[in-house]
Structure 1
Amino acid sequence: MKASSIGTRRLALIGLGILLVAAMSYVVMRSGPLAPTRVTVVQAAEGQITPQLFGIGTVEARRSYLIGPTTAGRVRSVTVDVGDTVKTGQPVAEMDPVDLDERTAALDASVARAGSAMAAAEAQRRDAQARRELAAVNARRYVELGRQNFISTGAVEARLQEEASADALVNTADANLAAARQDQQRLAAERAGLRQQRANVRLLAPADGVVTSRDAEPGSTVVAGQAVLRVIEPSSLWVKVRLDQARSGGLAVGLPAQIVLRSSQGRPFPGKVARVEALSDSVTEERVAQIGFDQVPAGLSVGELAEVTLSLPATAKTVLLPNAAIKRRQAQTGVWVIDAGTLRFTPVRIGQAGLDGQIQVLDGVNPGMTVVVHSEKEIGERSRITVVDALTGRQP
């Protein structure tokens, strides 16, 4: 009786152990290190993709003017302030003329004196011409008398010499008159240059715009070319944006753009690519483009950050896959394909990608193939997998 009871307990313990081992094996195979890798998949399908470029930029002015003197001097007055609107030709500041007015008055007097000298030279020239005409008449008369032997040869030669002297006096008068005229022209040019310097003392707005900076105050001294004021044309504001070189293959002037300013989050402004810079940044591997607004927003400030999205032309129909499905294995780009329940790594040739995560597969995958998108760990050809809807949540 005792032996039978002991045998029954042994059988019960053996059965319990078998159940425990089976349960542990089930747990290990389902959730332990030997469990199949959970993966999510997608069916390859054809479609079109609209590639987009995204970049961060800053608002700048296409036309900006630095207003300053052409010579060193002291600022006498500044008549506008930051934020003021100015018109073309409007006086915005004035430099101290120092002695320009006195030098102009002195040159005015010199020009007048040169005019008097030119008048005197003109009178001397007329007198010399009259003397030459008289000397020529006397010379002809004496030559005729000498031919008839009424006067001596010496008297004839004396009259001819007087005629030559009169000619020389006329040439001298012509030279003096030309010198006086040139001196007057030189002084007039100096006066015009001095008056231009005097006019440059008044700083004028070169175009309609808004004052963005006031860099000098009355009493301060500035050098030639140093800015006293900065003016921009509000209608010329655009966004200077940097774009990834690897994705900028279709970047061209005229591409439509959506601009989201930091001050207007969620409200995009339409625009177009106005210019693509010829020089790229080799350090950051970015290309630079200027994006113009279709209509410049009111209250836009220079230096404001903006997010720019450019839309490239739609591609032809090709196989599309999520970007996460593209893997690199042994220097090859490809995807994991599930074929008859087994895994197979297939090399692919990819094309353009969209901001929605879709990417073109130009070769290697046909429509209808089942492709692995995500896996909870690295997989290989011999990996055991189980397909799930999502990697997060409870394990099926």
Structure 2
Amino acid sequence: MTSTSSSKRRLLLGVLALLLLGTLAFVALRTGPLAPVKVQVTEVARGRVSPEIFGIGQVQARRSWLVGPTVAGRVRSVAVDVGQVVQPGQVLAEMDPVDLDQRVIALDASLARAQSARAATQAQVADAQARRALAQANLKRNQDLARQKFISTGALEARQQEVASAEAGLQAAQANAGAAAQDISRLQAERAALLAQRNNLRLLAPAPAVVASRDAEAGSTVVAGQSVLRLIDPASLWVALRVDQGRSAGLAPGLAARITLRSLPGQTLAGRVERVELLADAVTEERLAMVAFEAPPAGVSVGEMAEVTLALPASAEGLLLPNAALQQYEGRTGVWRVQGGDLIFVPVSTGAQGLGGSVLVAPVDGAALAEGDRVVLYSQTALRPDARISVVESLLPAGGAK
């Protein structure tokens, strides 16, 4: 009886050992290092890709003006405030004229004196002309008398000398009149220069615009060329777009754009590439383009960030795959095609890509890939041709990633 009980015990232990070994084998083959690699697959489709270029930009004004004095001085007053609409010729600010008004008054007095001097020289010219006419008349009478031997030669020579003296006096009077006229021209030019300098102290709006900033207040001292006010044309707003050079193929003027401002995240604005800059940013490795709004929105701020998507022409029809399906194996780019339970690496070349993740592919080196083929989209670990796989709907655990 003891022997029978011992046999049963050994049989039970043997069964338990076999169950344990089976369980360990099952765990090793299903969840351990020998378990198949879980993969998620997708099918190769056929279609077209509409490539898009994405970039970040900043709202800027194409037309802006920095309004300031042409000479150093102190700001007397500022007549406008930020956000105010101004019209051409409107007075925006005024600089302190210091002594310009007094200098203009002094020049006016000098000009009046010069005009009086010119009147005097004109009177001298008239007097000299009268003297010359009288001397010429006397000379003619004496010449007649000399031919009749009524006067001596000396008397005739005296009359000739009077004519020459009157002619010289007239020339001197005319020269004085010319000098007076030149003085008047000089003083008028100096007065015009002072008035122009005085008028430059009144800072005027050059065009219809909006005041963007006040850079100086009344009482501030500014140098020549320093800005007192900054104006912008709100109708000229555009986005200075920066695009990664590696993704800028096809960037050209005229491309349609979708603009999303940071202040209006749920609204898409239409635009168009106005200009592509010839100079790229060598530090950030970006190309620069200017994207104009078709209708600038109200209330947009200069300097605001914007997201811009540019639409390129659709590509030719071809095989489409998600970009995530592309893998690297032995230094080559390709996809893992699932055939039955086997994996076959298919080298491919890539073409146009869309922002949604779709990419055009074409097999190379005689490899086979056709519409409807199943390829690995995601895998638990790196794959090899001899790897055992298990196709699953999703690699995420039930309920989503934690």
Structure-1-length-normalised TM-score: 0.86
Once the two structures are overlaid, the 10-residue window that deviates more, 28-37 or 384-393, is 384-393
Conserved 8 A contact 2:260-2:306: yes
CA deviation map 1:298-337 (0-9, x unaligned):
2222222222222222111122211111223444332223
2:63 paired with 1:63: yes
Closer, same or farther in 2 for the Cα pair 1:9/1:227, shift >3 Å?
same
Aligned to 2:287: 287
- Structure 2 SS opposite 1:249: coil
Residue of structure 1 equivalent to 2:227: 227
Question: Which residue identity lines up with residue 388 of structure 1 in the other structure?
Answer: V
Residues 1:7 and 1:110: Cα distance change in structure 2 (over 3 Å): same
Report the CA distance between 1:248 and its aligned residue. 1.3
Q: Which moved more, 1:104-113 or 1:163-172?
A: 163-172
1:206-260 deviation digits (Å, cap 9, x = unpaired): 2222222222222222222222222222222222222221111112222222222
Matching residue's letter, 1:115: Q
Q: 1:382 aligns with which of 368, 386, 389?
A: 386
Q: Which residue of 2 aligns with 1:309?
A: 309
Question: Given that residues 341 and 388 in structure 2 are in contact (C-alpha distance below 8 angstroms), is that contact kept between their aligned partners in structure 1?
Answer: no
The structure-2 alpha-carbon separation of the partners of 1:379 and 1:162, relative to structure 1 and needing over 3 Å to count, comes to farther
1:43 aligns with 2:43: yes
The CA distance in 1 between the partners of 2:330 and 2:195, in whole Å, is: 78
Which secondary structure state, in structure 1, belongs to the residue aligned with residue 240 of structure 2? strand
| CA-to-aligned-CA distance 1:164-212 (integer Å, 9 cap, x gap) | 6666555555544443333222211111111112222222222222222
Distance change >3 Å, CA 111–CA 376, structure 1 → 2: same
Deviation readout 1:96-134 (Å, 9 max, x if unpaired): 222111111111222222233334444444555566667
* Paired residues of 1:43 and 1:367 also in contact (CA < 8 A): no
The CA distance in 2 between the partners of 1:355 and 1:298, in whole Å, is 29
Return 200-209 or 172-181, whichever deviates more.
172-181
Aligned mates of 1:235, 1:15 — CA distance in 2:
88
Contact 1:253–1:276 (Cα < 8 Å) also in 2: yes
Within 5 Å, give how 1:1-396 maps onto structure 2. Answer: 3=3, 6-128=6-128, 172-339=172-339, 341-364=341-364, 366-368=369-371, 369-393=373-397
Residue 4 to residue 224, structure 1, CA distance change in 2 (3 Å): same
Letter in 1 for 2:387: S
Contact kept, 8 Å, 1:240 with 1:291, in 2: the verdict is yes
User: Which ranges of structure 2 fall in alignment gaps of 5 or more residues?
Assistant: none
Report the number of matched residues.
Answer: 394
What CA distance in whole angstroms lies between the structure 1 residues aligned with 2:45 and 2:207?
57
Contact kept in structure 1, 2:57 and 2:241, CA below 8 Å: yes
| CA spacing shift, 1:97–1:2, aligned 2, 3 Å | same
What is the letter of the counterpart of residue 30 of structure 1? R
Cα distance in 1 for residues equivalent to 2:335 and 2:141: 123
* Cα contact 2:256–2:271 (8 A) shared by 1: yes
CA distance in 1, matches of 2:128, 2:349: 100
DSSP 3-state at the match of 2:246: helix
CA contact (8 A) 1:350 1:363 kept: no
Letter aligned with residue 223 of structure 1: V
Unaligned runs of 5+ in 1: none
Greater shift, 97-106 or 340-349, is seen at 340-349
8 Å CA contact 2:333, 2:347 repeated in 1:
yes
Following the alignment from structure 1 to structure 2, what is the Cα–Cα distance between the partners of residues 332 and 182? 89
Q: Quick one: which amino acid aligns to residue 312 of structure 1?
A: L
Counterparts of 1:329 and 1:150 in 2: how far apart (Å)? 138
Residue type at the aligned position of 1:372:
V
Question: 1:31 offset after TM fit, Å?
Answer: 0.9
Q: CA RMSD in A?
A: 3.1
Q: 1:2 to 1:106 in 2, by over 3 A?
A: same
Deviation at 1:25, TM superposition (A): 1.0
Letter in 1 for 2:370: P
For residues 346-377 of structure 1, the C-alpha deviation after alignment (integer angstroms, 9 at most, x for no partner) is 33222232111111225537432332221111
Q: Does structure 1 conserve the Cα–Cα contact (< 8 Å) formed by 2:65 and 2:230? A: yes
Give distance in 2, aligned partners of 1:249 and 1:260: 22
Alpha-carbon distance in structure 2 between the residues aligned to 1:332 and 1:172: 103
TM-aligned CA distance change 1:176 to 1:21, over 3 Å: same
**Whole-Å separation in 2 of the counterparts to 1:373 and 1:359:** 13
Contact 2:346–2:369 (CA under 8 A) maintained in structure 1:
no
